[in-house]
Structure 1
Amino acid sequence: MYGQVRAVIDKAPIAMIKVSVYRDRTLLDKTYTNDEGRYSVEVPKGAVVTVRFDTHHSLTNAEDWHPSVVANVIADDESPLDRLLLKSGHGVDPESAVDALSGYLFAAEWEDGAYARTAESRLSRLKQTGEVLQEIQRKLQEYFTKLSDTASNT
């Protein structure tokens, strides 16, 4: 599986985005995008997978981009899986906002306190227009704040 990750606003390639591929609850493979935003991961052809695009808390871009997740992808070596990510703090269309929230919801299942700190910060800068999306965003912020606080106290 391969593709390119770029910015929603100007379509510029994004380097150092972590691309993780899961089947069921198992991480199959992960990699990072190169300077051109390109990635390639090894996945059994025909497998139905979930692909997550996100920053990593230890990198300099940890708070720059909102996550994205694509579920029920059939792994294929012939068709690229390209993705557009939303930059933190930028205005956005509702589709990109929902995509970012979905990425955070997925991350809530997998991540620890170190991730929670950057997620909390990025979520605070996500601009939502609808009340329902604002409520989901608020609940995710509360969850990641609590996770971050718990990690800090241990």
Structure 2
Amino acid sequence: MTEVLAKDILLRARERGLTVTTAESCTGGMVAAALTDIAGSSDIFHRGMVTYSNAAKQDMLGVRHETLEAHGAVSEQVVREMAAGALAAAKADLAIAISGIAGPGGSEMKPEGRVCFALASAAEIATQTVDFGALGRANVRAAATHHALELLADALTD
């Protein structure tokens, strides 16, 4: 299913002459990998950033220290800044950003399986949080990757 979504994204972005970039934390580059697994993806995908640590989020994407301190890395506020930073750094048309708690672990406030997403274009940045549940690390990461690809595909449908 991931391959089908990635092919669809490539086709739709290519038809519209749009480029896509990624800013990933808990997925560790899985969205970028899904897109670049498709031959011809260089037409629409020029770079992706894995910013696993808070320092990387700040250095590579311009996420503000104050935002991280106030909301934590797993927050819509942080993924909003990640997406905006990725969009600017890559000079892309669409950016997807992901940060979450893949597990094991988590807390009452931020349980295992909670993942925040942001989808950015020049016109807007939309954010959302999805609680996938304590599915286990690999399954949360796979679910988050799939969801991010769905968000990109939906954005290219309009």
- TM-score scaled to structure 1, two decimals? 0.30
Instruction: Identify, as 1 or 2, the structure richer in strand.
Output: 1
Instruction: Identify, as 1 or 2, the structure richer in helix.
Output: 2
- TM-score scaled to structure 2, two decimals? 0.29
